Copies of this chain bind each other. A is one copy, B any other.
Amino acid sequence: MNARFYAPDAHRPGDLVPLPGDEAEHLTRVLRLKAGDALRVFNGHGREFDATVEQADKDGVRVRLGDFAAAAPEPRVAITLAQAVLKGDKMDDVVRDATMMGAAAIQPILTTRAEVTRGSLVRGRRRERWERIAVSSAKQCGRATVPRILDAIEFDELIDALGKMLLPLPGLMLVEPRAASETTPASELDLSPQRAATVLIGPEGGWTPSEIERGASVCRLITVGSRTLRADVMCVVALSAFFTMWREF
């Protein structure tokens, strides 16, 4: 298969569209493609095209869109991963992995034990960084959809928002085996397919008891096995379990 590039302006066959700076750089400097070379582009919203490089020079890269190409199917359940911001580079790994796993959106959340502030995320331009990581992961895993990266919010804001949804229990909150009394193993989840779900995953130090209590008002508390899993791998474990239950895997 030809190399894949992210072209957010790609909408209709026949159009001439520019590649963003990072993508143009990758095309010219790393893969050394030239005018006339074939490639594939995806627009991050589920569309994928065959395409041809029409211009690749110091003014940038433009590609001519050919036919629609078959994109890897998206999961039928749109999962928003509400992930407590992890330390250091761990959150980068979560964004990369959640994109590969098929999350529809990633909602960073600030919890009591997540040692990070909203201000530090803004100053560090972390959302922009995570967006680049999501694009890069979509390129590698063959997805034509790039999950939306939302602005970080407080845990309580998330719970309030979930409480206003018209679903019986809109959230699936991952908890440690012995962290709460009323928990449901992932394999006992209702098999009826749902269209959307928010999956809540805590930070390295776990949820506080009061977060679990608040969460339980709008979420099912879900366990995956009896071991203590690392926070940065939990999104892969949880999405694998849910997609298996929902027959996406």
Contact = CB atoms under 8 A, between A and B. Distances in A.
A48 to B, nearest CB: 13
A237 interface: yes
This chain: how many copies in the complex?
A: 2
A228 to B, nearest CB: 5
Contacts of A187: 243-249
Interface residues of A, number: 36
B225 A248 contact: yes
Given A236-B237, A240-B241, A228 B186 contact: no
Contacts of A202: none
A225 B142 CA distance: 12
A102 interface: yes
Interface of A: 72-73, 75, 97, 100-102, 140-143, 177, 185-188, 223-230, 233, 236-237, 240-241, 243-249
